[in-house]
Amino acid sequence: MKKLINSADTILEESLDGFAAAHADILLLGAERKFVRRRTLKPGKVALISGGGSGHEPLHAGFVGLGMLDAACPGQVFTSPTPDQMIEAAEAVDTGAGVLFIVKNYEGDVMNFTMAAEMAGREVASVVTNDDVAVEKSTYTTGRRGVAGTLIVEKMVGAAAETGLPLAALTALGEEVNRRTRSMGVALLPCTVPAAGRPNFALADNEMEMGVGIHGEPGRRRVPLASADAIAAELLDAILKDLAPGKGSEVLLLVNGFGATPLIELYLMVNAAKRILDSAGVAVVRFLTGSYVTSLDMAGVSITVSVLDSKSTKLWDAPVQTAALRWGV
Amino acid sequence: MKKLINSADTILEESLDGFAAAHADILLLGAERKFVRRRTLKPGKVALISGGGSGHEPLHAGFVGLGMLDAACPGQVFTSPTPDQMIEAAEAVDTGAGVLFIVKNYEGDVMNFTMAAEMAGREVASVVTNDDVAVEKSTYTTGRRGVAGTLIVEKMVGAAAETGLPLAALTALGEEVNRRTRSMGVALLPCTVPAAGRPNFALADNEMEMGVGIHGEPGRRRVPLASADAIAAELLDAILKDLAPGKGSEVLLLVNGFGATPLIELYLMVNAAKRILDSAGVAVVRFLTGSYVTSLDMAGVSITVSVLDSKSTKLWDAPVQTAALRWGV
């Protein structure tokens, strides 16, 4: 295992301290590093809180700030955060308009956020994301996994929350964006959880895992390495079959690296994906390209397609000021 | 070799096409993909042009846009662009106030940019960056290499150019920022040039290359893998010895990933670096963390320290709207 660390036990705290120092203009670390919160709250705005296991950076703490999340609760690497983290985060950022939890669909996350919602002693609603079309059940999941599409939910609901939309409407919006959003990924190289010290799955030199999860969970099938065009075609075939966007639909295309994939390859995948979507009569009108929902040092890519309308396009374009996404401010 | 590509021969063109599609709001691809240029030029502003071998994305095309570069010329992977690329880029973006070339110090780049300056038939000045303190001569270099500090020169000179500063003053500013900026890096894993198909150097499981170049060139020494704290200490010791910032200096800290290093590790390095700088009486007042000057799929990190004053801090904070850096707009 080759990592820039001091000890497997202190990675999360040391990384959070560096993160908080680097972005002190927009966020603060909560007591005992239980959550990362927006520095300046907007009274009367519904508070948006997400979280999950670490190792997916910049998700979620990188999306804390104006126009997106009010707080994020980081668990240990690939481990759900605990209910007390969400409860204390809610206490810190709820200004009276209620709290919306945005939760990726993994059993541990859903259980702990549900428990926190019940125990928080305040008005809490939840949106559970499940955009991954690869498999219906997975290692840590009943139903579909929540993956990179989660950031689109966080961005759009975050923008709507800034306009003063109430909790029930934000919940409905989050569910709607989730329904319009589908993802699938492929791994070329596995990731190594620091505490384990060795890759969490094995791939031969000519193999890839099609439909991989963001913790390296198995996908649909293990297949020989293929060209970028063939990979894009298989991922988009699965996505479009499930999403069934009408001809002439306008979409946001997110090409997401898993942590060890260089940008030159991600933009090549953008090109491949756009050509396929063009042929399918689907117009890509917004793009996001980069490593936003990662799996430690896994190499590979996921493609996410989110169907837009004029409302959601405006929400996507609205100002955002976070560590990982920043525009309009 | 595991890469998301169709063929080693078409990586650059396919990636540039994806890049141009994804960022069509701010940039355009020149004829025959010889350069990437800012979509909207500002008449009367000095035109800033950079470029170099590809494989370092987002450098340089990712820094084309308001407040930074007017054009970038991408060579093939790890190969200098040719003089006709810079000449045609200058033709496209010079609005009459002259052209400044920002060139990383590699023999091929310097030779081709120099030839282009002579043949361009317009007023051209150049700034050559050489911020890497690792070695005085290297595989492709006489004198020091230009590495991640180059983006700081591009950002600050770009901001000054927007205010209407003339060519001579921008050249002097670029040289001054370069003199105030020092970098050094370390590789944990090598990179693979697609056309070669195999790693461009070998490292044992417990080895790292201290002082590595951004093409995988040898550094100062090959040593056993060390802790993040020890790595940060060695990099900063070399940087601070050379830069000799006064006690109480304010600096920008850039922690840069080489392409395959996850963000959780980069922020951990931020934390390690900041503690060392704090102890040295150097105040980190600006941070940039991410994979900005990469080496394909190399794993590792570079640290850059740039001494700030009130003028350069303002230039750093000024609005920028590029694919890779965006704030204030």
CATH architecture of the domain with range B182-309: 2-Layer Sandwich (3.30)
| Beta-sheet pairing, A326-327 with A320-321 | antiparallel
C-alpha–C-alpha distance, residues B79 and B85, integer Å: 13
Q: How far apart are CA A235 and CA A209, in angstroms?
A: 12
Q: Note the pLDDT tens digit of each residue in B193-225.
A: 999 999 999 999 999 999 999 999 999 999 999
pLDDT for A167 equals: 98
**A204 touching chain B per CB within 8 A:** no
Question: CB of B289 within 8 Å of any CB in chain A?
Answer: yes
Report the candidate in B247, B242, B269, B241 with the shortest Cα–Cα distance to residue B256. Answer: B269
Q: What angle do CA B181, B271, A57 make, to 5 degrees?
A: 105
Average pLDDT along chain A, 329 residues, taken 10 residues at a time? 96 98 98 98 97 98 98 98 98 98 98 98 98 91 95 98 98 98 98 95 96 96 97 98 95 98 98 98 98 98 98 98 96
Packing angle, helices A228-243 and A263-279, rounded to 10: 50
Whether this model's ipTM surpasses 0.95 comes out as: yes
Q: A254 by DSSP, 3-state: which? A: strand
- Residue A244's Cβ-count burial label (10 Å; 0-12, 13-18, 19+) is exposed
Residue in chain B nearest A230 by alpha carbon: B6
Mean pLDDT of B161-176: 98
Question: B228 in contact with A at a CB cutoff of 8 Å?
Answer: yes
Say how far apart CA B101 and CA B99 lie, in whole Å.
7
- CA nearest neighbour of B322 among B18, B25, B16: B25
Please give the pLDDT value at position A114: 98
Q: What DSSP character marks residue A120? A: S
Among the listed residues B215, B217, B294, B305, the single catalytic one is B215
Q: Do A4 and B297 touch (CB under 8 A)?
A: no
Q: Nearest-CA distance from A199 to chain B in Å? A: 14
Distance from CA of A96 to the nearest CA of B (A): 30
Q: Which residues on A lie below 8 Å from B18 (Cβ)? A: 266-272, 274, 289
* Integer Cα distance of B72 and B37 in angstroms: 7
Using CB atoms, pick whichever of B4, B227, B264 lies closest to residue A231. Answer: B4
Residue of B nearest to A263 (CA): B57
Cα torsion A53, A55, A61, A63: sign: negative
The helix, strand and coil proportions of chain B, stated in percent and rounded to the nearest 5, come to 35, 30, 40
Beta-carbon neighbour count of residue A227 at 10 Å? 13
Quick one: pLDDT at residue A137? 84
Contact flag B4-A259 (C-beta cutoff 8 Å): no
Hey, are the CB atoms on B261 and A294 less than 8 Å from each other? no
The distance from CA A282 to its chain's CA centroid, rounded to whole angstroms, is 23
Residue B285 pLDDT class (50, 70, 90 cuts) = very high
B93 DSSP assignment: H
B16: helix, coil or strand? helix
B56 has catalytic annotation: yes
| A298-323 as b/e: b if 16+ CB within 10 A | bbbbbbbbbbbeeebeebbebebbbb
Q: Which of B4, B264, B269 sits opposite A261 (nearest CB)?
A: B4
A301/B17 touch (CB, cutoff 8 Å), yes or no:
no
Residue of B nearest to A6 (CA): B227
What pLDDT is stored for residue A203 in this prediction?
96
B-chain residues near A272 (CB < 8 A)? 6, 14, 18
pLDDT digits (tens, 9 = 90+) for B50-82: 999 999 999 999 999 999 999 999 999 999 999
CATH-assigned architecture of domain A183-310: 2-Layer Sandwich (3.30)
Question: Taking CB atoms and an 8 Å limit, are B287 and A225 in contact across chains?
Answer: no
B222 lies within 8 A of chain A by CB: no
Q: In this model, does residue B13 exceed pLDDT 90? A: yes
Does residue B140 surpass a pLDDT of 90? no
Cα separation, B82 vs B87, in Å, equals 9
8 Å CB contact of B188 and A2: yes
| 3-state helix/strand/coil string of B244-262 | CCCCCCEEEEEEEECECCC
Mean residue pLDDT of chain B comes to: 97
Does residue B161 contact residue B45 with C-beta atoms inside 8 Å? yes
CATH superfamily name and code, A11-179: Dihydroxyacetone kinase; domain 1 (3.40.50.10440)
pLDDT of the residue at A142: 87
CA of A145: how far to CAs of A110, A130, A139, A215, B189, in Å? 11, 5, 10, 11, 31
Judge: A267–B57 Cβ closer than 8 Å, yes or no: yes
Of A1, A102, A116, A7, give the one whose Cα is nearest residue A60.
A102
All structural domains of chain B with their residue ranges: 11-179, 182-309
Catalytic one of B37, B38, B45, B56:
B56
Across B133-152, average pLDDT: 93
Q: Tell me, what's the pLDDT at A140?
A: 86
Q: Which residues contact A26 (CB under 8 A, 6 or more apart)?
A: A38, A39, A64, A65, A66, A321, A322, A323
Q: How many contacts, defined by CB atoms under 8 Å, are there between A and B?
A: 190
* Residues of A marked as catalytic: 56, 215
Identify the residue among B267, B270, B286, B294 best suited for mutation to test binding to A, counting A beta carbons within 10 A and taking the highest.
B267
Q: Which of B268, B301, B325 to mutate: most A Cβ within 10 Å?
A: B268
